[in-house]
Structure 1
Amino acid sequence: MPMTKEDNDLVTRVENGAPLGEMIRQHYWLPAIPSSKLEAGGRPFRVRLLGKNYAAFRAGNGTAGVIDEACPHRRTSMLLARSEEDGLRCIYHGWKINVTGVLDEAPNHSGDQQQFCKHIRTNQYSVVERGGIVWVWLGKGDTAPKFPELPFIDLPEDQRAVTSVEVPTNWLQGVEASMDSSHVGVLHESTTKLTAGSGNERLIMTKALAPRLEFEERPYGFRYAAIRDVGEDKFYARINNFVMPWYGLICAPYEKGPAMVFFSTPVDDVTHRAWFVNFNEHAPLGPTIISTAPDVWNSPPVPEGGAANNWGQNRDLMKRGHASGFPQHLATEDFAMFLGQGPIYDRSDEQLCSADGAVLRVRAAILKSVREFMAGKPPTLATHPELDYRQARSVGGVLPSGSDWRVLAEQA
């Protein structure tokens, strides 16, 4: 059954007090910026989250901070501020805000400066730097939500790589793609064949296009197996995890290979930031398309142009056998599909099939959480007593027919 327009708004809108945006703000840590983008004593960067602008920076002492972009005095941008040992100093009148968001100095005030600073309202946000990412909690209160201790978080630096890029569509379009197993063998057929080496099980998806899906609910969301028959009384099970509110943990293409985490965080109603974490729990990552990205704040590439030029699709390349016409990157192919859906995809007029079960469960999990929040209850998937993000591990493999795919999950 198609989603109603009211429910479509509930799972997509994040601005101006929308319930989803307020729920995320209060109950989840948001990735703000890759750690490597911030230089001690260097320039601040604009980070836009849930329709509001923030300044992310690293003070001279090396501590990362996230504060409101607008100076509390005359509201000019703190992106223009001078970075000092423990904070940012606005170059308009010299007001200094430290890494915790507290006003330390207001040199143009003639009275008791210390007392004056205490009475200036500033928003103070908790910041944690882990897994190559600066994270921020934008909620209120003294108790922050549980941190997403996903499998890449505490790996050594040489075993993970992080990139992100801003995409001009709603966030949910990206999240849904991460849990859509059947598009891989179609949209990514050529990219998979070009990048997959010998023994890469991901190639199976370019031959068996209609997986059978089986699900298990988990305290953080769900995991599911996309099962494909491969002949000779064997099947390929690809077990991936959805972790609320936006994480898609994708299994490695071969045993002990590099896995991926995709997450699409809301910039505003019609923009999201796509995050990519490539990681290997067993060995150094080495050169990959993520670890060698030229700009970790603007990669992979978003298609150029619009509908008038088919978003830059190379039709000549398609004539020569490329499946999508977007050879730049696997993610560029996905971004083109999001752009083709429009700024906010209307789910009230779609016609789904058997392959869309995981997408439907993503929507159901988000709807359930938003409705709990609107009813004044903490979302179950954010506060479950057995919530353990470390249990979200994805794995794939070929098994004899009649086997239980959960054997692979247990090994993980």
Structure 2
Amino acid sequence: MPLTKEENDLLTRVADGAPMGEMIRQHYWLPAVPSCKLEADGAPVRVRLLGRNYVAFRATDGSVGVLDEQCPHRKASLALARNEDGGLRCIYHGWKLNVKGEVVEAPNHTGNQEQFCKHVRVNRYTAADRGGIVWVWLGQGDTPPKFPELPFVDLPQSQRSVTSVEVPTNWLQGVEASMDSSHVGVLHESTTQLTAGGGNQRMLMTKSLAPRLEFEERPYGYRYAAIRPLADSSIYVRINNFVMPWYGIICPPDEKGPTTVFFSTPVDDVTHRAWFVHFNQHRDLGMTVMSASPDVWNFPPLPPGEAKDNWGQNRDLMKRGHQTGFPQHLGTEDFAMFLSQGPVYDRTDEQLCSADGAVIRLRQLLLKAVREFQEGKAPTIASSPELDYTEVRSVGGVLPPGSDWRSIAEAA
């Protein structure tokens, strides 16, 4: 059934002290910027998360830091700062902050500068450089939450690629798409054929558009099997995982093939950053549409037009057989759908069907977590002692008639 307005607001709003934003801030690590965007002593990079502005930088020794964008002195932007000798130096008055967020120099202060710096009020954030991404914990306290040790995090650089792009819609629209199995065979039919070839197992999704869904709860969220009957009575099974609060771990197209983690992190209430981590746990990734990205901070491309021209949809290409008229990338097709839903999708008037079970479940998990947070509790799924991100495995394949899909999941 549709959500109420209160539920929709609780799920989507993240800025200005909204409960969802504060829950995420305290209990989860957020991806901030691709690692390769930060050079030692190079330019800081602006990052906006949960409605607030930050800068990320790499210090002289290679360590990374995330700071509030405004200098604690007179609020000039640290995106303009000099990055030198282990910290950012504000070009307004010379105050310097290290990667821990500590003020270490205030050259325009007379008297005991060291003691003065110790008493400057600053927000200190914990940053980590893992899996080709610089992550940050924005919460309060001395102990960060468990780091998401997802399948790509400890792979060598040759086995993964990381790209992202800012999309002008609410974050939940992206998260829901990552767990919507039935749209893939429709929206992405042409791009799947273009990128993977007509013989790829993923093309089987275009033969049966109404999968049967079966679910299993997991300490990190849930996994589910999308089961499609084939003409010879065998079944095509795709087992994907939803990892709180936004990770969609998608099974590879073929055994030992590359797979993808999709996640959409909140920039503010009406903007999100879509992340695509393409990786292969078995061998070097090589050249793929993702690893050949021309700009890791702005890829995949957004639709090329505006609402007035249907976001640049190419109807001539559709006449020639392309299913959507957005040939740029699989992600571009998704972004066009998000934009067409509006900046914040109204879930109070939707009409769902049997294929939407995975979307409904992720909403339920998020609502449960944020309501626990509102009650002053640590969300159960964020604090579970059984939480082990390394156990997340997404697989797929064609099985004989009558097979249990769990057989390939446990063998992975």
With the length of structure 1 as denominator, give the TM-score of the two structures. Answer: 0.99
1:39-73 CA distance string (max 9 Å, x none):
11110010000000000011122111100000001
Tell whether 2:345 aligns with 1:354: no
* Structure 1 residue 85 displacement after superposition: 2.1
Residue 198 of structure 1 deviates from its aligned partner by 5.8
Q: What is residue 161 of structure 2 aligned with on the other side? A: 161
Q: Does 1:252 align with 2:252?
A: yes
Which letter does structure 2 place at the counterpart of 1:35? S
Find out whether 1:208 has 2:208 as its counterpart: yes
Output the CA distance in 2 between the equivalents of 1:85 and 1:267.
30
In 2: Cα distance, 1:236 partner to 1:123 partner: 50
The CA distance in 2 between the partners of 1:85 and 1:215, in whole Å, is: 52
CA contact (8 A) 2:34 2:134 kept: yes
Local SS of the residue matching 2:321: coil
Q: In 2, distance between residues paired with 1:63 and 1:319?
A: 52
Q: Distance in 1 between matches of 2:154 and 2:143?
A: 22
304-313 vs 395-404, greater mean Cα deviation: 304-313
The amino acid of 1:244's aligned partner reads M
Aligned to 1:15: 15
Q: SS at 2:260's partner residue?
A: strand
Following TM superposition, the consecutive aligned residue runs of length 4 or more in structure 1 with deviations greater than 4 angstroms are none
Which residue does the alignment assign to 1:175? 175
Find the aligned partners of 2:240 and 2:16 in 1 and give their Cα distance: 33
Provide the secondary structure at the position in 1 that maps to 2:172. helix
State the alpha-carbon separation in 2 of the partners of residues 214 and 386 from structure 1.
22
Give, in angstroms, the shift of residue 199 of structure 1.
4.2
Q: Counterpart of 2:73 in 1: which secondary structure?
A: coil
Which residue is equivalent to 1:381? 381
Which runs of structure 2 are paired with 1:2-401 in the superposition (5 Å)?
Answer: 2-197=2-197, 199-401=199-401
- State the shift of 1:411 in Å: 1.1
In structure 1, distance between residues paired with 2:343 and 2:192 = 27
Separation in 2, partners of 1:27, 1:272: 19
Which residue identity is paired with 2:109?
A: H
Cα deviation code 1:295-348 (max 9, x no counterpart)? 111100011332101011111111111100000000000000000000000000
User: Distance between the aligned counterparts of 1:304 and 1:317, measured in 2?
Assistant: 14
How far off is 1:119 after superposition?
A: 1.0
SS in 2 for 1:283: coil
The CA distance in 1 between the partners of 2:242 and 2:274, in whole Å, is 16
How far apart are the structure 2 equivalents of 1:393 and 1:85?
42
Distance 1:388 1:320 in 2: 47
CA–CA distance in structure 1, aligned partners of residues 332 and 197 of structure 2: 21
Give secondary structure in 1 for the equivalent of 2:324: coil
Secondary structure in 2 aligned to 1:135? strand
What TM-score results when the alignment is normalised by the length of structure 2?
0.99
Deviation at 1:207, TM superposition (A): 1.4
2:66 partner letter: V
Cα distance, 1:197 vs structure 2: 2.9
Partners of 1:329 and 1:197 lie apart in 2 by 15
**How far off is 1:233 after superposition?**
2.1
Q: Distance in 2 between matches of 1:191 and 1:99?
A: 42
In structure 2, C-alpha distance between the alignment counterparts of 1:272 and 1:307, rounded to whole Å: 19
Contact map agreement 2:305 2:313 (CA 8 A) in 1: no
Gaps in structure 2 of 5+ consecutive residues: none
SS in structure 2 at match of 1:215: strand
Counterparts of 1:195 and 1:90, CA distance in 2:
46
Higher mean Cα deviation, 197-206 or 252-261? Answer: 197-206
Instruction: Tell me the distance in 1 between the aligned counterparts of 2:196 and 2:35.
Output: 29
Q: How many residues align?
A: 412
Partner Cα distance (2:335, 2:199) in 1? 28
Deviation at residue 273 of structure 1 after TM alignment:
0.2
C-alpha separation in 1, matches of 2:223 and 2:150: 14
1:337, 1:202 → 2: CA distance? 21
| Other structure's SS at 2:230 match | strand
Query: Which whole-Å deviations, capped at 9, do the CAs of 1:108-136 have from their partners, x for residues lacking one?
Result: 01121111111110111001110000000
Q: Which runs of 5+ in 1 are unaligned?
A: none
Contact 1:199 1:254 (C-alpha < 8 Å) held by counterparts? no
Cα drift, residue 101 of structure 1: 0.3
Residues 154-183 of structure 1 show CA distances to partners (whole Å, capped at 9, x for unaligned) of: 001100100000000000000000000000
Q: Deviations over 1:6-49 (max 9, x none)?
A: 00001000001100000000000000000011111110010000
CA distance in 2, matches of 1:198, 1:170: 34
C-alpha displacement of 1:290: 1.0
**Alpha carbons 2:150, 2:389 under 8 Å: kept:** yes
C-alpha separation between the residues in 1 aligned to 2:283 and 2:381? 32
How big is the shift at 1:103? Answer: 0.1
Aligned residues: CA RMSD = 0.7
- In 1, are the aligned partners of 2:195 and 2:289 still within 8 Å (CA)? no
Percent of aligned pairs sharing the same letter: 74
The answer to whether the 8 A contact 1:179-1:242 is kept is: yes
Distance 1:85 1:347 in 2: 50
SS in 1 for 2:66: strand
CA distance, structure 2, for counterparts of residue 198 and residue 348 of structure 1? 39
SS in 2 for 1:8: helix
**What is the CA–CA distance in structure 2 between the aligned matches of 1:198 and 1:24, rounded to whole Å?**
41
